[in-house]
Amino acid sequence: MILLAIETTCDETGAAVLEGPTFPDAGPLAVPRILSSVVSSQIGLHQRFGGVVPEIASRAHVRQVVPMIDEALKQAGLGLKDVGAIAVATRPGLVGALVVGLTAAKALALALDVPLVAVDHLEGHLYACQLAHPDRQVYPCVGLVVSGGHSSLYACNGPVDCELLGGTIDDAAGEAFDKVASLLGLGYPGGPEIERAAKAGNPKAFAFPRSFLRDPRLAFSFSGLKTAVLYALRGQNEERGAVEPSPELTADLAASFQEAVVDVLVAKTLQALDRTGLARLGVGGGVAANGRFREKLGAAMAKKGIETFIPPLALCTDNAAMAGVALLKLAAGQTADLDVDVTAGLVRPAQRA
């Protein structure tokens, strides 16, 4: 089975070709092989706005979706005639962006007369852990997705059986990195910039808030932290009679902010593991690239004996290969009709189609 997968949930236009194992004989660890995976990033288009502009994202997807599909097929050495099914992420994401990928997927499924499979982008992010570790059992696991759009914890019985435990009530972790970077006059995307600046800083220089740390709810909040950085920056600038932070102050603010985000992500993940009794952890999303996060999460998980899976960067950030989770849905007969629509927000199990 050759699967063509399409990703347009936010600001990356992705296409991938995967070869599925033969179901149902392939067993629980039957992991598809990625034949190709290409991504056209829109970072350059959104950079000057300091965040993703939905209309610009949609238009860029319209321009890029067909070239990406062509490129993915070319790199896999295959043509449209070889495609046996089409997968597309239909939720959650920016509505205008999602619609572009879904429309392309519907058109191809109709023209090629092959099944269409709608996938959840966040289940895809977590399935990337299994794609990256085809020989190891990732599920059941706690799933943590930390990206520009999401900070969510899941209890995953299997790749397409993930229950939302909780998420952010305001900004996503990556969004907080982007906004704080912008406050500090650093570039976009903010995560790598903050991480770089933080290397020279003291993570204890400012005692920034760690929301929900001692709260039993599995929730995140990063907007108060962002405001705390803003006030600290203003206060320090006033004290120094300056309008711009010194490199030392920028480094200390970046390091203290990063430490606060990392502490909360690690603590809440530990809480989710305790609550569910699960012994494995899968992580997805761009924030998982953060070195300090990896270091502290790795140490905390090693201490608890939790087997932790973090895919390589290309599978952590948005990509179409992770929609390979569709092959499991296909094997279970969970295909979509051509009138399937997109969903902007997180979907709880009871609402799932």
Partner touching 317 among Zn ion, ligand KG4, none, CB below 5 to 8 Å by kind: ligand KG4
Q: Which is nearer to ligand KG4, 182 or 236 (CB)?
A: 182
CA–CA separation, 58 and 56 (whole Å): 6
Containing 22, the helix (H) or strand (E) segment is none
Residue 174 within binding range of ligand KG4, rule CB under 6 A: yes
Partner touching 192 among ligand KG4, Zn ion, none, CB below 5 to 8 Å by kind: ligand KG4
Partner touching 166 among Zn ion, ligand KG4, none, CB below 5 to 8 Å by kind: none
Shortest approach of ligand KG4 to residue 50 CB, angstroms?
A: 11
Residue 159 within binding range of ligand KG4, rule CB under 6 A: no
Residue 147 within binding range of Zn ion, rule CB under 5 A: yes
- Pick the stretch among 31-39, 62-70, 142-150, 308-316 that binds Zn ion (CB under 5 A): 142-150
Single residue of 3, 5, 6, 10 touching ligand KG4 by CB under 6 A: 10
> With contact defined as beta carbons under 8 Å apart, do 92 and 121 qualify?
yes
Q: Which is nearer to Zn ion, 146 or 194 (CB)?
A: 146
Residue 329 backbone zone (phi > 0: left; psi -120 to 50: alpha; other: beta): alpha
Residue 327 backbone zone (phi > 0: left; psi -120 to 50: alpha; other: beta): alpha
Residue 282 within binding range of ligand KG4, rule CB under 6 A: no
Shortest approach of ligand KG4 to residue 34 CB, angstroms?
A: 18
Single residue of 87, 287, 310, 315 touching ligand KG4 by CB under 6 A: 287
What pairs with residue 167 in β-bridges? 152
> With contact defined as beta carbons under 8 Å apart, do 283 and 144 qualify?
yes
Q: Scan residues 119-158 and list those touching ligand KG4 (CB under 6 A).
A: 147-149
- Pick the stretch among 188-196, 207-215, 264-272, 301-309 that binds ligand KG4 (CB under 6 A): 188-196
Tell me the one-letter amino acid at 132. A
Partner touching 190 among Zn ion, ligand KG4, none, CB below 5 to 8 Å by kind: ligand KG4
Place of tokens 């300090």: 292
Single residue of 7, 175, 259, 318 touching Zn ion by CB under 5 A: 318
Single residue of 282, 286, 311, 324 touching ligand KG4 by CB under 6 A: 286
> With contact defined as beta carbons under 8 Å apart, do 221 and 274 qualify?
no
Q: Tell whether omega for the bond before 115 is within 30 degrees of 0, i.e. cis.
A: no
Q: Which of 195, 202, 224 is nearest to 211 (CA)?
A: 224
Residue 195 within binding range of ligand KG4, rule CB under 6 A: yes
Q: Which of 254, 185, 269 is nearest to 219 (CA)?
A: 269
Q: Scan residues 148-207 and list those touching Zn ion (CB under 5 A).
A: none
| Tokens of residue 36, six digits | 């190709």
Q: 2-7 and 85-91: which strand pairing?
A: parallel
**Binding stretches for Zn ion (CB under 5 A):** 147, 318
